[in-house]
Amino acid sequence: MEKSLRIKGAESVLNLEPNSSIAIGYHALFGSHDDLMLLEIDEKLLPDILHERVALRGQPDEDSVLCTPSKTYAIKFVGNSNSPFLIPPSGQFPLCENPQDFDGEVHGFAPVIKVAPGNMELVEVAPKLDKLKLLLSKNPYGYEDVLEMDFMEDVEKNKARLYSWDDLVGRVQASDEELRNGLWALSAVEIDGFWRIVDEKYMDMILRMLLHNSVLNDWSLDALQEDDVVSVLVSDGFPEKLASHCLHVYGSKVDGDVGRSCVWRLDESRVCVHFARQILSTGKQKMETFMAEWLQRIPGWDADKFRHVGR
């Protein structure tokens, strides 16, 4: 007698009771279905994937990576020694017509739409931040950029070599969090919608002027009021964004604000290392010569704390 089998989906196999059975057969649409791939993931990644908080990133000449909001994963294809069947959920595809008969006490029919030869695995990898440094280092922000602000034609030409946040997301294989940390590590700053590394010589000019102004205005380097510092640096010809950026690069915020103005303390180590690098950028020199010039640039701090920088 011909049996009438009820067509079921993947849930019928997943919820199969002990000592019961279900027929497995080919779906009418069975085929290679290259657009269907199995992805094996750690359970901790499931919320990000289900809530669409992941993205595939990579250029055409790169192997794509999968990025969550905070991590980067390489995608590896692994072949299977067995043959996993892909059975779609009920209602996912048109139902099979005229399924073949099956012997035995079978209460349903689950159609296989594809046999998976393997699956993708995710392996956490380090973000490729070297590319971020390479992109931003090609066009650092310097004094010439300030002069170009008076010539809009030059500004438009320069924008072709600049990168917005979306540009960097599309070019750098890193999660959003890793990309932000990479920008912070490079002391990059967003100027007019584009992320820039500031030329070291230009940053040196701003820092020197800040220290000069601190002497003229009797500012404490442990309690610099941002509004005052930025206002004076702007009057000296530096862009407001860069004046504020100087405090972020070489200082740290002090707990508590005075009114609406943030209070900053210059970081002694960062400032001293900056001047040491500036001196050494001219080439090798005797220790005594280096130390003499370096100590002259340290703004009144206890030099003994920083003598290790020159060793």
pLDDT of 123-171, one tens digit each? Answer: 999 999 999 999 999 999 998 887 766 555 555 656 668 999 999 999 9
Higher pLDDT, 262 or 151: 262
Q: How confident is the model at residue 101 (pLDDT cuts 50, 70, 90)?
A: very low
d(CA 223, CA 286): 36
Tokens of 118: 């393997």
How high is the mean pLDDT of the chain?
Answer: 84
Distance of CA 140 to the CA centre of its chain: 20
Residue whose structure tokens are 């001293």: 272
Most confidently predicted of 38-47, 69-78, 296-305: 69-78
Task: Determine the average pLDDT of the residues in 5-30.
Answer: 81
Element (H, E) at 266: strand 263-266
> Of the candidates 12, 49, 27, 162, which has an alpha carbon nearest to the alpha carbon of residue 94?
27
The model's pTM is 0.78
Is the pLDDT reported for residue 11 higher than 70? yes
Comparing C-alpha atoms, which of 118, 119, 115 is closest to residue 25? Answer: 115
- Tell me the domain boundaries of the chain: 10-125, 129-310
